[in-house]
């Protein structure tokens, strides 16, 4: 059953703690993306990767970090430097090129207490 998975679905953290969100895909896609969505807002790009061991900053990369050690996996770390981390985080993947549709995971809702 091909798809893209994210875990956990809900995550709570205390201020000052780093937290890592998981994203895995078995669609054999080269490109993977992380977006942040705030209530009633659109999707803002945090980071993207088009090949293993390489990734690029998106529009709102400050306070976040990523790694791409395997084609299937693109974890996102929300660091304590992120001023307002409470949000819905969406991971997506696609074949290379902007003419290919993006497939989204179910998302992780992060709440900072």
In the complex, the smallest distance separating the C-beta of residue 58 from other proteins, rounded to whole angstroms, is 8
Interface segment toward other proteins; rule CB under 8 A; list 17-25, 34-42, 68-76, 77-85: 34-42
- Comparing CB distances to other proteins, the nearer of 18 and 56 is 56
Of residues 50 through 89, those in contact with other proteins by CB under 8 A are 50, 58-59
Inter-CA distances, 56 with 70, 71, 82, 98, 101, Å: 16, 15, 18, 15, 19
Rule CB under 8 A: choose which of 3, 28, 62, 106 binds other proteins.
106
**Tokens found for residue 37:** 């969505």
Task: Give all strands of the β-sheet with 4-7 in edge-to-edge order.
Answer: 4-7, 19-25, 76-78, 64-66
Does the footprint of other proteins cover residue 10 (CB under 8 A)? Answer: no
Residue 13 and residue 112 in contact, taking contact as beta carbons nearer than 8 Å: yes
35 touching other proteins, by CB under 8 A: yes
Decide: is 15 part of the binding site for other proteins (CB under 8 A). Answer: no
The residues that touch other proteins, with contacts defined as CB under 8 A, are 35, 40-45, 48, 50, 58-59, 90, 92, 98-99, 101-107
């Amino acid at each position: 059953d091909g798809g893209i998975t994210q875990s956990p679905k809900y995550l709570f953290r205390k201020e000052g703690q780093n937290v890592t969100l998981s994203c895995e895909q078995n669609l054999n896609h080269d490109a993977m993306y992380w977006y942040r969505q705030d209530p009633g807002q659109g999707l803002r790009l945090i980071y993207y990767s088009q090949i293993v061991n390489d990734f690029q900053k998106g529009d709102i990369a400050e306070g976040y970090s990523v790694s791409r050690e395997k084609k299937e996996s693109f974890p996102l770390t929300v660091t304590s430097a992120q001023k307002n981390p409470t949000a819905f985080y969406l991971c997506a993947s696609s074949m290379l090129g902007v003419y290919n549709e993006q497939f989204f995971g179910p998302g992780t809702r992060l709440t900072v207490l």
